[in-house]
Structure 1
Amino acid sequence: MAQVLVAAAFVPSAPVLVPELSGPGVAEILPIRDAAHAVCDQLAAQASRWVVVGIGDPAVPVAARGTFVGFGAGLEVEIDPQTPGDPDPSMPTSVLLAGWLVGAVDPRPQLTVTLVDAQTSAADSAELGRVLGAALASTDEPVGLLVVADGATTLGPKAPGGEQAGAAALQTVIDNALGSADLAALAALDEQACTALGVSGRAVWQLVAGAVAGAGVDRAALDGRLLVAAAPFGVGYVVARWDVRC
């Protein structure tokens, strides 16, 4: 059977990427925004079916449409264009960002969403990932993962969590792990340290590492590439891609 999980794209869960929220020409944001669009275009060239993985309440169904009205703009996004309904103003930020990015992709991929609570343990995140990976392996259709999550929020004096010792070192570990597809390094991210330093994406990345294993992808078959690692507002934003060699 052909390899099902063919690639993963990693982007920030950052509303500031959206021009309607931050303005079209914010110099610190442009490289991150451009890289996020580019990595989604690359993912679309490999798979027409995507699983969005992000932070949110897995017990709450994801609406077909969302809106950034909670961030000050009436911009709407679609997760499932075929399903009618009003836009959900409380859609998780990770899903909103996914919908916004996918709206610029042509042809548009089909989306499903997997959410994980930010405080889910490393072991449980990995197990959730293995279940997802096994489900993906049950079909012959190529699938890509769009992984939407943020790093430390404590990387500078103007950061949401202020500047904290150890944040830069931890963010470097995250940047390197995502850029090199280092599953072991992601699995080893410390839960307490990530919570203390505002790394909300830890459970997401550990779920994805589990999904790779659950889909039967050998680590040696993964090629990782880091496109951007930056912290323009004291928050760790990473854009990266993983490709699975057949």
Structure 2
Amino acid sequence: MVPHPPLLVPELVSGAAAETEPVRAATLAAAGKLPGPWVAVAVDGSGPSTFVPPLSGTFLGYGVDVPVTLGGDLPPDATIPLPVLITAWLRERCGVEVSRVELVPHDLPTSDCVSFGQRLAADTGAAGLLVLGDGSTRHGPRSPGSDDERSGPFDSVVHDLLAAADVDGLLGLDPDLARELGAQGRAAWQVLAGVPGPWRCSSAEFFAPFGVGYHVAVWERP
């Protein structure tokens, strides 16, 4: 489980590279433990949609032309959604293959998230599952959304659930509250909860630079 903000890419935050380094380092470390080939799942307004290699993109829409690829040497497509770009960026640094990236809509009901996770498990076998999702965007006055005192408790609960590999707890997250807090990762985490376990968490961290919550965790089969 990793976040997918543009600030992971150093070239996009040259003035704040030091402030964003902890979340970048943790994300790369977590992704580096994931065996390939990867199947990635994330939340995006373009979902439901599937992206497969060969596919190339660029972060030009976020300020700097940083090309990335899921594999192959096609010309960069400037319309590729951010979670796919981040998956490609992580893939290049971890030296693994990506089978596909699945995007689900923000408002996917919990029951549909579970069904989707079950289908992923049946389709992917032993592949590593990269789950991309961000926490609340309303942590304090520096946040891109208005400050909301519920953000701290919400992301604290998410962190504890990920650290405990608590599938039932993740399924209990309130979609309406997550939407109000800008926590777009809710649906992706609940897709993960639909993937049959058992699971144990080997590491879990939380960061909130610039007022946005970012969760990084690694689950393994015991």
Deviations 1:89-146 (A, max 9, x none): 121111111111111113x223311111111111111111111112234xxxx31111
Distance 2:120 2:49 in 1: 18
> Match of 1:237?
214
Deviations 1:197-227 (A, max 9, x none): 11101001101111x22xxx33xxx111334
Distance 1:28 1:176 in 2: 24
> Match of 1:104?
93
> Match of 2:147?
163
- Given that 1:67 and 1:77 are in contact with CA atoms closer than 8 Å, whether structure 2 keeps it comes out as yes
- Given that 2:70 and 2:97 are in contact with CA atoms closer than 8 Å, whether structure 1 keeps it comes out as no
Please give the residue correspondences for 1:6-85 in structure 2 after superposition, counting only pairs within 5 Å.
10-23=1-14, 26-43=17-34, 47-56=35-44, 57-62=46-51, 64-81=55-72, 84-85=73-74
* Count of residues paired in the alignment: 219
Distance 1:202 1:149 in 2: 7
- SS of the aligned residue for 1:132 comes to helix
> Match of 2:108?
120
What amino acid maps onto 1:20 in structure 2? E
Aligned residue among 102, 117, 120 for 1:132: 120
TM-score (norm 1): 0.83
CA pair 189-21 structure 1, distance change in 2 beyond 3 A: same
What amino acid maps onto 2:219 in structure 1? W
Question: Kindly, what percent of the aligned residue pairs are identical?
Answer: 35
Deviations 1:14-41 (A, max 9, x none): 1111111012863321111111111122
Report the aligned-residue RMSD.
Answer: 1.7
TM-score (norm 2): 0.92
Unaligned segments of structure 2, at least 5 residues: none
Aligned residue among 78, 93, 100 for 1:89: 78
Deviations 1:120-177 (A, max 9, x none): 111111111111112234xxxx311111110000111111112112111011011111
Please give the residue correspondences for 1:211-230 in structure 2 after superposition, counting only pairs within 5 Å.
212-213=195-196, 217-218=197-198, 222-230=199-207
What amino acid maps onto 2:23 in structure 1? I
> Match of 1:183?
167
- SS of the aligned residue for 1:114 comes to strand
- Given that 1:180 and 1:225 are in contact with CA atoms closer than 8 Å, whether structure 2 keeps it comes out as no
Distance 1:204 1:14 in 2: 15
Distance 1:117 1:151 in 2: 16
The ranges of structure 1 where at least 4 consecutive aligned residues each deviate by more than 6 angstroms after the TM superposition are none
Structure possessing the higher relative contact order (Cα contacts under 8 Å, 6 or more residues apart)? 1
What amino acid maps onto 1:89 in structure 2? A
What amino acid maps onto 2:145 in structure 1? G
